[in-house]
Structure 1
């Protein structure tokens, strides 16, 4: 079971919630907490998750989940409602990058995801969720690529890729079938020629015997 599947099962499902997206992150800048020992780098993994309740009316949450080194357990550390999210900063609207910032009413975090693709998918799901469920003031999405704010573009791209692969495979099979068909025709022609040659040779042999 993947970490994200485990988080959904352990952290959200018992509370009748469904996780919509999760991204593993690290801080771009260390938080300064002078009087609290937080452990060294690599002591835990952090995930930012978007979830929605199954019961109506739906409530969307953004949750910080940690998994500490040496433990298989996932621990919920902080949680905000979607209405407490003020801004999502994609850092660079002109290229894929792994960095992004989240600004809440009482918190501001600078993150870097494991990859640009993970971050892009997370922001797209978060934006779509905000548009669907946020009845009050919607959070601001700045410095985000337009493809992330257009609904299901990433999902459509993935579907297009699968369709393209299927089409290419089908075309390759058709071409292979055509080649096999031509080869079978050539084989049949050769067999007919060989049979005709054999008949002619037999006739010549009988003629000479006579």
Structure 2
């Protein structure tokens, strides 16, 4: 069984829900299996923080549900986003995250790394644009100098042609 993602509304107050879906073999569509609000989530169990596996468990107010991600990496990303979302949007007590890698719950997260890499990419692009602007300015200056030289050469050539014509 495959899982999907968290759903978050733009309206205030925000409404966050967790939806479990199933993708049937040979089909590109998904069927909704279960749905809970983030405030119903009580515990996220990563099963084993030392083992790369796609399985994890979610405990809600009145339900316990076993989940399987597409890969161990997808599971880590989902748990990290779920933790971040719970910290930001849970209006009641925050759920407990057990047997999850500490790096997923701390400051050096994929989310921060992604934000850092976007910031870094923007800085690199800005620097490249500045350098390009400087090169274009130098090219414009050289073009102006070449134009002046060409005009002076033309005037000199014209004078020489007039002198030898007579």
TM-score, normalized by length of structure 2? 0.63
| Counterpart for residue 146 of structure 2 | 190
Q: State yes or no: 1:206 paired with 2:165.
A: no
CA deviation map 1:2-51 (0-9, x unaligned): xxxxxxxxxxxxxxxxxxxxxxxxxxxxxxxxxxxxxxxxxxx4216556
Q: Is the 8 A contact 1:87 1:103 kept in 2?
A: yes
State the alpha-carbon separation in 1 of the partners of residues 18 and 67 from structure 2: 15
Q: Is the 8 A contact 2:19 2:33 kept in 1?
A: yes
Report the 3-state secondary structure (helix = DSSP H, G, I; strand = E; otherwise coil) of the residue aligned with 2:46. Answer: strand
RMSD of the TM alignment (CA)? 4.1
Unaligned runs of 5+ in 1: 1-44
Unaligned runs of 5+ in 2: none
Aligned length: 157
State the alpha-carbon separation in 2 of the partners of residues 71 and 164 from structure 1: 36
TM-score, normalized by length of structure 1? 0.53
| Counterpart for residue 29 of structure 1 | none
Q: Is the 8 A contact 1:89 1:144 kept in 2?
A: no
| Counterpart for residue 31 of structure 2 | 74
Following superposition of structure 1 onto structure 2, how do residues 97-136 of structure 1 map, counting pairs within 5 Å? Answer: 97=52, 99-102=54-57, 104=59, 109=66, 111-114=68-71, 116=73, 118-131=74-87, 132-133=90-91, 135=93
Q: State yes or no: 1:88 paired with 2:46.
A: yes
State the alpha-carbon separation in 2 of the partners of residues 191 and 183 from structure 1: 12
